[in-house]
Amino acid sequence: MKNLMKTSVAALALTVGANAAAAEGNLVLYHWFEYMPQEVLDKFTAETGIEVTMDTYDSNEAMLASLKAGAIGTYDLAVPSDYMVSIMGSEGMLDTIADGELHNKGNIAPEWVDVSFDPGRQSSIPYQWGSTSFSVNRDVYAGEIQTTDILFNPPAELQGRINMLDSQGDVTALASLHLGIPQCSSDREQLKALNDLLQGAKAHWASFNSDTAKEVLVSGDAAAGMIYDGFNSKAREEGANVEYAFPTQGYIAWMDNVVLLKDAPNRDSALKFMDFLLEPENIAAITNYAAYNAGVTGVSEFLDPALAAQPEKNPHADAGNGVFIQVCDEATQAVYDQIWTNLKK
């Protein structure tokens, strides 16, 4: 109930905000928390005179829910991850960028042009990409960590001291890699095995937390935890003796993308901002801040040299493949939702 009230009030506030933003030279951005340095926005405003308003969200699903609850038509751009681009595309929430509308489209790195979630980049451009795996505090556990057993069948030192991301997609995807089964399985034995695996492993987990995934490792509350690569390098910088693992079973790859939303109130400003983000110097500033990777050619000269050498950026020779989270159909998804509810009941 409290939530609904919050949503309604937020929707109301957004409508008011949107009216104010409809004036010329504005841009309304819907973005993740802690993912956009203010300097980059200031630079864009200085170059173009366009004022940027930014609201933030903490999960792809929260963003989707907010847009579905009526915020579409309020925002110009959002920054969904790979699988969420597919979902938003299939929900008809994205606008198509015509040929020639983006002057810097040629700057997109060739391997990131024909992506499965937006073939030919009809509605999106790359923002940052990276991996999701886990890391282990080496002061606590010195043994082998390049295996998903760390999370799902942990050694005694780590039992009860593991933080998981509070994200159904990431947790079930990694568990599927551990079992060697497809992400959207409809095989009942496989699904039962997945359910049992998570039920059994839960006893060894201390918490589910995404926002504080880095803090719990730095403070020592958790001795191991699922984490994004950039978060882990920040944890190391803050003094935690944590090592990021690239398990042999595989890990999760992701790419966040800037998408042009349907009914964008400031479509021209939005395209200008997308062009701005495709300039190597600008996107490199974001990469230096977030410690992930850019999907634009020619960024390397603007990047902090230390970044490329980070262990989180260099999988070892035996590392498994990085796999994107897949989008399941409705019937299959219902079973995965049930498994997640079983896990957290």
Partner 1 sequence: MAAGAASGGSAVTDTYKDARTWLLLPAWLTLTILVAAPVFMMLIYSFLTKEFRGGVIWEFSLAAYDQFFFDRGLFGDDPAKIEWTYILIFWRSIWQAGAATILSLVIGFPTAYFIATRPEKSRPLWVFLITIPYWVNLLIRTVSMKFLLRDQGPLNDFLINIGLIDSPIHIVNTNFAVQLGLFYSYLPFMVLPIYAAVERYNFSLSEAAADLYATKATTLRRILLPAVKPGVIAGCILVFVPSMGSFLAPDLLGGAKNFMIGSLIEEQFKGNAGNWPFGAAASMILMSMVLVLLMFYARQQAKSEKAEG
In the region spanning residues 296 to 335, those forming contacts with partner 1, defined by CB under 8 A, are 330, 333-335
Q: Does 202 bind partner 1 (CB under 8 A)?
A: yes
Q: What does the alpha-carbon distance between residue 11 and residue 65 come to, in Å, rounded to a whole number?
A: 11
Q: Does 340 bind partner 1 (CB under 8 A)?
A: yes
Token pair in block for residue 323: 């796999």
Token pair in block for residue 344: 């957290």
CB of 288 to partner 1, least distance (A): 28
Nearest to partner 1 of 62, 308 (CB atom)? 62
CB of 1 to partner 1, least distance (A): 5
Q: What does the alpha-carbon distance between residue 210 and residue 80 come to, in Å, rounded to a whole number?
A: 16
Position of tokens 């049992």? 196
Contact range with partner 1 by CB under 8 A, out of 26-34, 109-117, 138-146, 200-208: 200-208
In the region spanning residues 60 to 79, those forming contacts with partner 1, defined by CB under 8 A, are 61-62, 64-65, 68-69
Q: Does 132 bind partner 1 (CB under 8 A)?
A: no
Q: Determine the straight-line distance between the first and last CA of the chain, rounded to whole angstroms.
A: 20
Q: β-strands 124-137, 224-228: how paired?
A: antiparallel
Q: How many residues touch partner 1 (CB under 8 A)?
A: 47
Is 234:245 a contact under the CB 8 Å cutoff?
Answer: no
DSSP assigned state of 101: S
Nearest to partner 1 of 167, 269 (CB atom)? 167
Nearest to partner 1 of 162, 278 (CB atom)? 162
Distances (CA, A) of 238 to 36, 98, 215, 217: 20, 44, 10, 10
Q: Does 8 bind partner 1 (CB under 8 A)?
A: yes
What is the identity of the amino acid at 32?
W
Q: Does 341 bind partner 1 (CB under 8 A)?
A: yes
Q: Does 339 bind partner 1 (CB under 8 A)?
A: yes
Radius of gyration of the chain (CA): 20
* Binding footprint of partner 1 on the chain (CB under 8 A): 1-5, 7-9, 59, 61-62, 64-65, 68-69, 87, 91, 166-169, 188, 191-192, 195, 202, 205-209, 212, 219-221, 330, 333-335, 337-342, 344-345
